C-alpha cells in the first residue's frame, strides 16, 4: 500500500495532483507483472482524484475503491458556505472549526469504538474501561489538529480544487472502464453519500455498491470496519488478474473500450452477481442443457469437448436464436464457468443504430469510429442493468467468436466493437 499525502501548505492544482498520481503509477508498474492488479482507493476528495486518474490512465489502473467520494460536491451547500468559513477571524476559525466539524466528519461513538478492535478477547471490564477512557482522551486531543491540517488558506484551496475536480469528471462517469467498489455511509453529514452511492452505481458502467448503516463520513476509522475484509466479502480483492489472453506488459490504451485486447475475467463473486441479475430468470424459464461433441462423434453433457484456449488459435461459435437471443448471456456465463473463455459477440451494425444515432443501414462513420460508439454507449448500464461482461441480449442472428489468443473485450467494448468487426 502506498499513501498519497498532500502537505498542508501545498498549492498544487487538481490537474497537477492527477499528474503526480499518473507519473508515480507509470514508474511503479514497471517493476511488477502486468497481471498484478493496481487498486486506487479514494476517500472524499480522493474519490474525485481516483476517478480522474482512472480516466486519464486506464492502462495503469485496474480497480477503484470509492469511499464517500466527493462527486456530489457541486450539489451540496459547501460551495456556498465553505468560502464563508475561510473569511472568519483566524482565532475564531481555529477554535470553532474543530468543534463544528468533528461530528460532521465522523461519528464520535463509532470513532471511539475503534479502540475496541484492538482489545483482546477476555480482557477484564476494568481494563476495557481504562482503554476506552484513554481512547476518548486521545480523540479529544486530536480535535485541535483539524485546524492545523485545514488552516483558512488550505481550506480555500481545497474547496477550489474540489470544485475543479467535480466539474472535470461530471459527465464522464460513463467512461470509467475500471471495476469500481463504492462504499458509503448513510449517516454521512458532510456529503449526501447515501444518495450519491446509488447515483454512482447507475452512472459507472462496472460498479457495485455497499452501503453501511449508521456510518459517518470517516467511517473507515470507526470501530468494526475492516477494509480488507470488506474487499474479500465483496469478491473485489484479487492477487492476480485472470486475463482472457496472455498479457506480458501494460501498454497505453490497453484497457480501452472497443479494442481487441486482453481483459480481466470476472471473479467468482462477480459472476454470481451477474447471474443473479441477468441470467437467473432465463435459466429458470428454459432449463438450458449444455452438450458438446468430441472428435469421434460422441456427445457428453457439459462443455468438456469444447477445445481449451490455445495461444494463436481461435474458436468460432455459430448460433441460431429461437428465443430473442436470451441464450447469449447464458452461453457466455457457462463458457466462463466451465472453460474460462470470455466470448466476443459479433453483430450487424444495424443492431447498434439506435444506440449510436445511426440510420438502419449503419452508416460508415458509425461503423468505423469505435471510440465514438464507446462513448455514446456509456449509458447502457443505466437503461438495461446488465453486467460488465454481458453481451447484447437482443439479436436475431449472431456469430459468437471466442478469441483464445487475441483477448476479449470488456463490457462496453463487448457491445460496441461488434459493429467494427462485422
Share of the chain above pLDDT 90, in %: 30
> Distances from the Cα of 113 to the Cαs of 110, 132, 141, 246, in angstroms?
5, 8, 16, 47
Express each pLDDT in 340-377 by its tens digit.
888 877 777 776 665 544 444 433 333 333 333 333 33
- Burial of residue 103 (number of CB atoms within 10 Å: 0-12, 13-18, 19+): exposed
> What does the domain layout of the chain look like in residue ranges?
1-241, 268-421
C-alpha atoms less than 13 angstroms from C-alpha of 149 in its C-beta half-sphere: 10
Determine the straight-line distance between the first and last CA of the chain, rounded to whole angstroms.
44
CATH-assigned architecture of domain 1-241: 3-Layer(aba) Sandwich (3.40)
- Burial of residue 349 (number of CB atoms within 10 Å: 0-12, 13-18, 19+): buried
| Closest residue by Cα to residue 241 from 221, 215, 265, 222 | 265
**What is residue 194's predicted lDDT score, i.e. its pLDDT?**
92
**What is residue 89's predicted lDDT score, i.e. its pLDDT?**
79
**What is residue 125's predicted lDDT score, i.e. its pLDDT?**
63
**Weakest mean pLDDT among 12-16, 58-62, 313-317, 331-335:** 313-317
**What is residue 106's predicted lDDT score, i.e. its pLDDT?**
53
Express each pLDDT in 118-161 by its tens digit.
666 666 666 655 555 555 545 545 555 665 677 888 888 988 99
Q: Is the pLDDT of residue 392 over 50?
A: no
Share of the chain above pLDDT 70, in %: 65
Average pLDDT of the chain, as a whole number:
74
| Closest residue by Cα to residue 236 from 204, 269, 205, 211 | 269
Would you say how long the chain is, in residues? 422
Q: Is the pLDDT of residue 255 over 70?
A: no
| C-beta of residue 289 within 8 angstroms of C-beta of residue 353 | no
Express each pLDDT in 68-95 by its tens digit.
999 998 888 878 877 877 777 777 666 6
Q: What is the mean pLDDT of residues 265-290?
A: 87
Amino acid at each position: 500500500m502506498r499513501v498519497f499525502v498532500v502537505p498542508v501548505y501545498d498549492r498544487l492544482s487538481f490537474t497537477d495532483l492527477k499528474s503526480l498520481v499518473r507519473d508515480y503509477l507509470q514508474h511503479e508498474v514497471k517493476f511488477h507483472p502486468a497481471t498484478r492488479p493496481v487498486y486506487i482507493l479514494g476517500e472524499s476528495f480522493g474519490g474525485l482524484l481516483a476517478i480522474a486518474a482512472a480516466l486519464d490512465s486506464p492502462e495503469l489502473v485496474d480497480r477503484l475503491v470509492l469511499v464517500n467520494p466527493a462527486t456530489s460536491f457541486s450539489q451540496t451547500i459547501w460551495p456556498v458556505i465553505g468560502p464563508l468559513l475561510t473569511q472568519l477571524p483566524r482565532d475564531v476559525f481555529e477554535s470553532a472549526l474543530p468543534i463544528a466539524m468533528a461530528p460532521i466528519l465522523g461519528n464520535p461513538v463509532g470513532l471511539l469504538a475503534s479502540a475496541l478492535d484492538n482489545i483482546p478477547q477476555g480482557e477484564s471490564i476494568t481494563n476495557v474501561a481504562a482503554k476506552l477512557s484513554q481512547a476518548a482522551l486521545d480523540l479529544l486531543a486530536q480535535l485541535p489538529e483539524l485546524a492545523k491540517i485545514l488552516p483558512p488558506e488550505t481550506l480555500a484551496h481545497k474547496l477550489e480544487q474540489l470544485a475543479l475536480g467535480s466539474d472535470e469528471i461530471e459527465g464522464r462517469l460513463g467512461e470509467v472502464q475500471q471495476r469500481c467498489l463504492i462504499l458509503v455511509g448513510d449517516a454521512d453529514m458532510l456529503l449526501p453519500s447515501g444518495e450519491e452511492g446509488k447515483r454512482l452505481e447507475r452512472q459507472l458502467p462496472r460498479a457495485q455498491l455497499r452501503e453501511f448503516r449508521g456510518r459517518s463520513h470517516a467511517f473507515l476509522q470507526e470501530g468494526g470496519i475492516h477494509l480488507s475484509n470488506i474487499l474479500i466479502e465483496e469478491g473485489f480483492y484479487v492477487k492476480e488478474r485472470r486475463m482472457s489472453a496472455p498479457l506480458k506488459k501494460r501498454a497505453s490504451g490497453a484497457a480501452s473500450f472497443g479494442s481487441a485486447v486482453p481483459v480481466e475475467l470476472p471473479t467468482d463473486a462477480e459472476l454470481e452477481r451477474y447471474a443473479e441479475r441477468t441470467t437467473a430468470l432465463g435459466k429458470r424459464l428454459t432449463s438450458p442443457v449444455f452438450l458438446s461433441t468430441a472428435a469421434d462423434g460422441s456427445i457428453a453433457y457439459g462443455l468438456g469437448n469444447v477445445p481449451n484456449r490455445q495461444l494463436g488459435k481461435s474458436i468460432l461459435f455459430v448460433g441460431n436464436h429461437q428465443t430473442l437471443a436470451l441464450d447469449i448471456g447464458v452461453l457466455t456465463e457457462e463458457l466462463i464457468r466451465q472453460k474460462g473463455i470470455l466470448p466476443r459477440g459479433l453483430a450487424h451494425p444495424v443492431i447498434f443504430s439506435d444506440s449510436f444515432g445511426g440510420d438502419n443501414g449503419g452508416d460508415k462513420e458509425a461503423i468505423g469510429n469505435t471510440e465514438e460508439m464507446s462513448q455514446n454507449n456509456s449509458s447502457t448500464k443505466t437503461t438495461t442493468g446488465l453486467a460488465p461482461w454481458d453481451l447484447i441480449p437482443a439479436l436475431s442472428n449472431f456469430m459468437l467468436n471466442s478469441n483464445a489468443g487475441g483477448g476479449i473485450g470488456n463490457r462496453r467494448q463487448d457491445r460496441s466493437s461488434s459493429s467494427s468487426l462485422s
